[in-house]
């Protein structure tokens, strides 16, 4: 039986409103009485930050659960200092609940760039993290591989069921026979397949290329890798798009991505799929990164709007962390609440602790 006295919980670095919802669900399901302990924030006279657990004695010999959403360098540094404090004060274990994994493009060891995700996970282990919960990482394969390499237990919060439930009414209105899920690149194919299987829909697929300047182009009729062949082996309802995207003609399209950053790549995909004759395009993203000018891109005030509907998860604040009100859209973006799937993983993680 789980014992509340064996745990101590901290949060507040980035997205505490979400943290509280997750912990509330965990308590309701398990019967635990977990609550957040205080982190004391201050600064030294020379402006050096000073953040510490308010009562370090709470930590010794306990299983620490630490919620964090380090979406910028300052919050990541704060997270590191807090983790080092848990280590210093004798935590038995540290479970990190980090629903948005910041390093998503720098995740492939075969690319000619620093694999920051790999070194980030190595550092987390060095700072005492033994378990980590993430939601829909950019690359499930690489994230799992690096956790395995450095001996960290990884729990993946898959939001597919939550997204499918939110879209069911829309799909019933549009009609399943006339609706397909679209994956605009190899990285999004697994999550597009998962959503399509849950909703019993077909899949459209193309690939994209990002040049050294960061410019993205969508590619059709490209060579299919063994990895993609393996992914679609047990799902025959996958159509590879031609250069003119005519396979989308007359269809309602659900564009599935892990995140929305500037929105430019997703809008490019929507424009091309519409040019192929799509009847409507809906956009679904788990993580609302929402970099500068994202509203101008996906919610233009003039001309044809790229999307007939937009759905974002709430794993992190939209856009500027210091001014969350800038992320509001007056209801034009529909929120999908991700707390239940994160809570499910946290319950599994703490249930495995001895």
Q: Map residue 272 onto helix, strand or coil.
A: helix
Please provide the average confidence, as pLDDT, over all residues in the chain. Answer: 89
Q: How confident is the model over 99-125, as a mean pLDDT?
A: 78
Quickly name the fold that domain 160-337 has. Answer: Rossmann fold (3.40.50)
pLDDT in tens, 146-173: 999 999 999 999 999 999 999 999 999 9
Q: For 212-261, what is each residue's pLDDT tens digit?
A: 444 545 555 566 777 777 778 888 788 888 888 999 999 999 999 999 99
**Token representation of residue 270:** 């929507």
pLDDT for the residue numbered 30: 96
Start-end of H helices in 137-292? 140-150, 160-174, 189-199, 226-231, 264-275
E strand map for 289-345:
309-313, 333-336
Q: How far apart are CA 37 and CA 290, in angstroms?
A: 31
Q: Does the pLDDT value for residue 319 go beyond 90?
A: no
Confidence (pLDDT) at 102: 84
pLDDT at 294 over 60: yes
Q: Is residue 133 within 8 Å of 107, Cβ to Cβ?
A: no
Interacting residues of 302 by C-beta distance below 8 A, sequence separation 6+ = none
- Write down the architecture of domain 4-159+340-351 according to CATH: 3-Layer(aba) Sandwich (3.40)
Q: Which of 244, 246, 242, 268 is nearest to 255 (CA)?
A: 268
Say yes or no to pLDDT of 322 above 70.
no
3-state class of 23 per DSSP? helix
pTM equals 0.91
- Residue 4: exposure state from Cβ atoms within 10 A (0-12, 13-18, ≥19): middle
Q: Measuring CA to CA, how many Å separate 298 from each of 118, 165, 332?
A: 32, 24, 10
Residue range(s) of every CATH 3.40.50.2020 domain in the chain: 4-159+340-351, 160-337
């Amino acid at each position: 039986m789980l014992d509340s006295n064996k745990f101590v919980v901290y949060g507040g670095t980035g997205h505490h409103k979400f943290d509280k919802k997750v912990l509330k669900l965990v308590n309701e399901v398990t019967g635990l009485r977990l609550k957040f302990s205080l982190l004391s924030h201050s600064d030294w006279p020379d402006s050096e930050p000073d953040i510490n657990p308010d009562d370090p004695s709470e930590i010794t010999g306990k299983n620490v659960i630490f919620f964090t959403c380090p979406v910028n360098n300052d919050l990541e540094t704060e997270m590191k200092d807090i983790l080092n404090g848990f280590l210093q004060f004798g935590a038995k274990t540290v479970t990190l609940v980090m629903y948005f994994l910041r390093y998503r493009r720098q995740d492939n060891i075969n690319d000619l760039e620093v694999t920051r995700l790999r070194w980030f996970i190595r550092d987390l282990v060095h700072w005492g993290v033994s378990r980590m919960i993430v939601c829909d990482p950019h690359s499930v394969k690489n994230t799992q591989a690096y956790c395995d390499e450095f001996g960290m237990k990884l729990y993946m919060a898959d939001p597919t069921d939550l997204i499918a439930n939110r879209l069911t009414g829309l799909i019933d209105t549009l009609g399943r026979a006339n609706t397909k899920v679209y994956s605009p690149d190899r990285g999004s194919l697994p999550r597009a397949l998962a959503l399509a299987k849950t909703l019993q829909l077909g899949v459209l697929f193309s690939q994209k290329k990002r040049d050294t300047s960061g410019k993205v182009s969508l590619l059709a009729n490209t060579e299919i890798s063994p990895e993609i062949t393996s992914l679609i082996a047990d799902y025959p309802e996958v159509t590879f798009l031609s250069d003119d995207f005519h396979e989308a003609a007359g269809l309602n399209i659900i564009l599935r991505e892990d995140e929305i950053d500037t929105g430019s790549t997703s809008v490019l995909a929507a424009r091309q799929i519409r040019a192929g004759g799509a009847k409507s395009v809906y956009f679904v993203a788990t993580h609302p990164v929402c970099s500068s000018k994202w509203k101008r891109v996906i919610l233009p005030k003039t001309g044809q709007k790229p999307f007939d509907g937009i759905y974002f998860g709430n794993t992190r604040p939209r856009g500027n962390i210091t001014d969350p009100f800038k992320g509001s859209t007056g209801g034009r973006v529909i929120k999908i609440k991700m707390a239940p799937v994160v809570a499910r993983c946290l319950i599994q993680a703490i249930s495995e602790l001895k």
